[in-house]
Amino acid sequence: MAECKTFHLFPKLPAELRLEIWRLCLPQRVCEKDQAFPGIVFDLPDDEIPVPCLLYQTTEVNGRPPAISRICRESREIALKTGLFYQFFRSTNSLLKPRPSEAEWWSYTAIHSAWFDSTRDSMHLNWEPTYRGEFDDRGSALQSLAWDASQAGGRGSINIGYFQSNYILIKDLRDALKKLPTWTVVMRVVVIHTNFSTGASTGLFGLLDDSRVQLIDIFDEARMNALFDLAEQCEPYGLVTARQQISRDSPQSIQQKLRDAVRHKLRSEETEKLLPRLRPVIMFRLCTEMCNRVGSTASIRGVRWARKARKGL
């Protein structure tokens, strides 16, 4: 018997059930405040090796309105009820509080606006002080993120690089860390290159594949393994230009790495107080542009990108 993919009785369901189903289809996203820079994310050992991913496509798709906003009027109303195009530079966003001056931040990598649902999303900053070597910025990125995260119920994440950079301003770090009860720390980034239907069939990037950035708790073994398995399958030997290191470190070694990084910047009693408030995660990104496939347009751009980066931007 042929598989039926249409549920004809859906319009006949009571309205409250239909609305609840639409609500359950809404993604839970990591809203990116800025564009990640491939040269820092992948720490290229050799300039002739193309970057495994140019990263921008994931950010762009992840910042679009959720898939259900394009299905019908009823589903769009559900998406618009709690979501909006969040303006990172404008002082006011309808539904949200005005941005104070200390939360203003600008960089070449900063994003003007992205879709954001304050009831379910979190805010992420890709920028870390090492970016200062390549890009100008004004204001405090961390203070700005802390404020954006406060609009997201206190859900905010930064990269481990924030604690490892020599350009870090310790006072700024201390002040910002006080602003949220807990902080999520991205310990590494893994990009999964696959097509839309494979991504959607796994459900690992949201029910409708519209939650392209996932932060996975280091103790969530089931999801961590499922994502690492998919990442491995998507990098067949001989077909990719640059393989990522898809090693699975133990949660204990990841925690130790975080402790070492924080201890490097803060006093030891301060470190021990702070560590229970830090939640280490791995970031998985879904990119359908196949940047790492031999011969793909995106991989050719990746090679050019690496050469350009070597000569200086």
Question: Residues in the site for Zn ion, rule: CB under 5 A?
Answer: 53, 287, 289, 291
- Count of C-beta atoms within a 10 Å radius of residue 63: 20
Cα–Cα distance, 284 to 62 (Å, whole number): 12
Q: How far is CA 11 from CA 17, 18, 208, in A?
A: 10, 8, 20
Residue 187 near residue 258, CB atoms below 8 Å: yes
Of residues 279 and 293, the one with the C-beta less far from Zn ion: 293
- Residue 166's identity, in one-letter code, is N
Of residues 68 and 240, the one with the C-beta less far from Zn ion: 240
CB of 298 to Zn ion, least distance (A): 6
CB of 121 to Zn ion, least distance (A): 22
The H-or-E segment that residue 177 falls in is helix 170-177
Tell me the two tokens of residue 67: 């898939």
CB of 300 to Zn ion, least distance (A): 13
Of residues 3 and 43, the one with the C-beta less far from Zn ion: 43
CB of 113 to Zn ion, least distance (A): 22
Cα–Cα distance, 187 to 281 (Å, whole number): 6
Cα–Cα distance, 202 to 79 (Å, whole number): 23
Of residues 118 and 299, the one with the C-beta less far from Zn ion: 299
Tell me the two tokens of residue 266: 């803060």
CB of 225 to Zn ion, least distance (A): 22
Of residues 146 and 291, the one with the C-beta less far from Zn ion: 291
